[in-house]
Amino acid sequence: MQIWNTALGVQVGSLIRVAGIDPSMSNFGISRLLLDCDTLELSLEHFRTIQTEPQRGSKKVVRQNSDDLRRAQELYAGFQEELKGCILGFTEVPSGSQHSRSALGFGMSIGVLASSPIPLIEVMPAETKLASVGSQTADKPEIIAWAAALYPDAPWLRYQKDVIRGKKKRKAGELHDDNEHVADSIAVAHAGIRTSQFKQTLALLRAANRNLG
pTM: 0.87
Task: Flag whether 170 is in a domain.
Answer: yes
For residue 14, the model assigns a pLDDT of: 78
Q: Does 105 map to a domain? A: yes
The pLDDT of 44-69, averaged and rounded, is 84
The confidence band for 9, taking pLDDT boundaries of 50, 70 and 90, is very low
* Whether pLDDT at 59 is above 80: no
Q: Kindly state whether residue 3 falls inside one of the protein's structural domains.
A: no
| Cα 91 to Cα 109: distance, rounded to the nearest angstrom | 11
4 found inside a domain: no
pLDDT of residue 212: 60
- Domain presence at residue 147: yes
32-51: average pLDDT: 94
pLDDT in tens, 124-156: 999 999 999 999 889 999 999 999 999 999 999
- Within a domain: residue 9? no
Residue 191's CATH number:
3.30.420.10
- Mean pLDDT value of segment 35-53: 93
Report the range of poorest mean pLDDT among 26-30, 102-106, 187-191: 102-106
Please give the pLDDT value at position 57. 63
Closest CA to 43 of 81, 16, 83, 23: 16
Domain presence at residue 2:
no
% of the chain at pLDDT higher than 70: 88
Confidence of residue 211 (pLDDT cuts 50, 70, 90): low
In a domain, 5, yes or no: no
pLDDT digits (tens, 9 = 90+) for 112-121: 999 999 999 9
Domain with 172, as residue range(s), is: 15-212
Indicate the number of domains in the chain. 1
User: What is the per-residue DSSP string for 1-61?
Assistant: ----S----S-BTTEEEEEEEE--SSEEEEEEEEEETTT--EEEEEEEEEE-----SS---
Q: Please, what is the angle between helix 140-150 and helix 125-132, to 10°?
A: 50
- Asked if the model's pLDDT at residue 210 lies above 80, the reply is no
Q: Determine which of 36-40, 76-80, 126-130, 148-152 has the lowest per-residue pLDDT on average.
A: 36-40
Q: pLDDT per residue over 170-182, tens digit each?
A: 889 899 999 999 9
